[in-house]
Amino acid sequence: MNQPVRVAIYARVSTEDQAEFGYSIDAQLDTLRKYCELYSRVIVGEYVDRGVSGKSMKGRYELQKLLQDAEKGIIDEVIVWKFNRMARKNIDLIHIVDLLEKNNVSFRSFSENFDTSTSMGKFALQMMGAVGELERNTIVDNVKMGHKQRARTGKHNGKLPLGYRSVKIDVRGRESKIVIIEEEATLVRHLFEQYAAGQGLKAIANDLNHRGYKTRTGKPFSTCSIRDILDNPMFVGKIRYNRYENWAEKRRKGKTSELILVEGHHPAIVSDELWEKVQLLRQKKSTMPKKRFEGEYLLTGLIHCPECGAAMTASRTVNRAKDGTKIVRMYYSCGRFRSQGSSVCHANSVRKDEAEKAVTERIQEAVTNTHILKKIVRSVNEHRLGRIKPLRDELAGVQARIDSLEVKKRKYLGLYEMDEIGRDLFSERLADLNRDLEAELTRRSKLELELRDDQADPISYDLVQSLMERFNTLLNRSPFPQRKTLMHLIVKKITLDDTKRVGSVELAFNEETEKHFLSVAPSADNMAEGAFPLSGKAPSMKRRLEFEL
């Protein structure tokens, strides 16, 4: 007798989908449940990501749980309402389906009526995925075209900078204009005047922070925020647009040559003369040689300030002895102090050689001292066990809030059906409850995923010993660029104590670092780029491993 097909239902809806297309999680689930009932399929799980974009797997906890269950062999088929519920990008969709196929799990789309258990189904998936991505990209291009045309006519796109706000000028709220917030505008003018008078970015940021000013987002001013204000032509009455393409993916590497810079419809905050003077100074300072520190800083970005917790950066002092000899001392200093000044934090400098020596000695001690390594393993396992109860308690609290919200939804539905509340009030309250419910359901998914990881088998002593030995060997053998790469891959955080000495070193190993950097290389002569030469092979990892030295 044939066993029934074990099906996992996956549903997803983003905030944009709900607003623009009216997609409903309940409608997707109801449709797929009826399909499974009609074709005698057994539903072994329903995985629902609510209010999450399909651009990537980040934050999609239910999808991650589904893929884990596929590896366990408890699923035969994954079914979705539409293939774009699984992923927006074709390459991501193919990657997810490939992961399923490696575990003998087929993928089926209800609306497009194909499944990947057949060759034609795989072909249809790739074609439909490409068509779907083309459709999405066309929409994105049309939106960009509209934004560009709006910018060409002198209208602003996106968030407004310090000094401006938008006000509606018609009853329907379709038209608006940009006006000046005089209190903020005064600050902006002061900032430009300070720079024109010869003050540097850090000096201006330090001054503003000491006086208690904040950015539009409520954070202290930094050299970057001051620079962005000084370089923004909106303050002189112009609209600048299209400096970068695909900022979310390419960041500053997406700079374009099709910059739009036109006169805007909004009022200027600074005069043309002041703007031109500041830009002349900005251009002159950009061609000045930047400070370059000699020496190799192994721990930049890893070692953290004991006062504010920010990453510490390279710094140095240069003094002269009585005989005229130059004495250079190298340090790690608080990055926030260097960027935002003494009102935010202090230098809290630590000698470079002392910090690096302390970290490497701490690693060496853990490798050579069996007692310490066993203590680490015991601590890791106890910590993982200790995490389970708080997570379970929080999960119980989340579930209680979910149940309460469901009861409230039924209560308002009953009141509406009995005509005791109007449609507008009912819609408003239902929207509020659904928003709260989605947040709690997402939190529940994340907690369930964390509990699943924490309830895995205990970490073995052999695994930790092997990983630490390889890490230590590579630190001793490798040239500086590889050592720094390895440090940033495996060291999660280095914390200083009150005496500005290394207090703790947090390490984090995962499957990718173990596979590419701590396992055997192909050969000394023919290595993949970035591989580190080392003989032997470490035990295979099943999950991320974190511990403190």
Catalytic amino acids?
14
Rounded CA gap, 94 and 109, in Å?
Answer: 14
Chain position carrying tokens 């799990």 = 105
Both structure tokens of 321: 């002895």
First to last CA, the chain: 56
Which residues, other chains included, contact 416 with Cβ-Cβ below 8 Å and sequence gap of 6+? 423, 426
Rounded CA gap, 534 and 474, in Å?
Answer: 8
Helix boundaries (H) for 22-118: 25-38, 61-72, 90-102
The SS3 assignment for 74 reads coil
Q: In 3D, which of 450, 357, 343 has the Cα closest to residue 395?
A: 450
Residues paired with residue 314 on neighbouring β-strands, in sequence order: 332
How far apart, in Å, are the Cα atoms of 512 and each of 199, 378, 481, 482, 519?
47, 24, 19, 16, 10
Burial class for 182, CB neighbours closer than 10 Å (0-12, 13-18, 19+) = exposed
Burial class for 526, CB neighbours closer than 10 Å (0-12, 13-18, 19+) = exposed
Both structure tokens of 42: 């057994």
Q: What is the DSSP letter of 498?
A: T
DSSP states along 229-285: HHT-GGGGTEEEE-SBSSHHHHGGGGB-S--EEEE-SSPPSS-HHHHHHHHHHHHHH
Rounded CA gap, 500 and 331, in Å?
Answer: 12
Both structure tokens of 534: 């080392």
Both structure tokens of 489: 């891959």
Q: C-alpha angle with apex 511: 117 to 74, nearest 5 degrees?
A: 35
465, 357 in Cβ contact below 8 A?
Answer: no
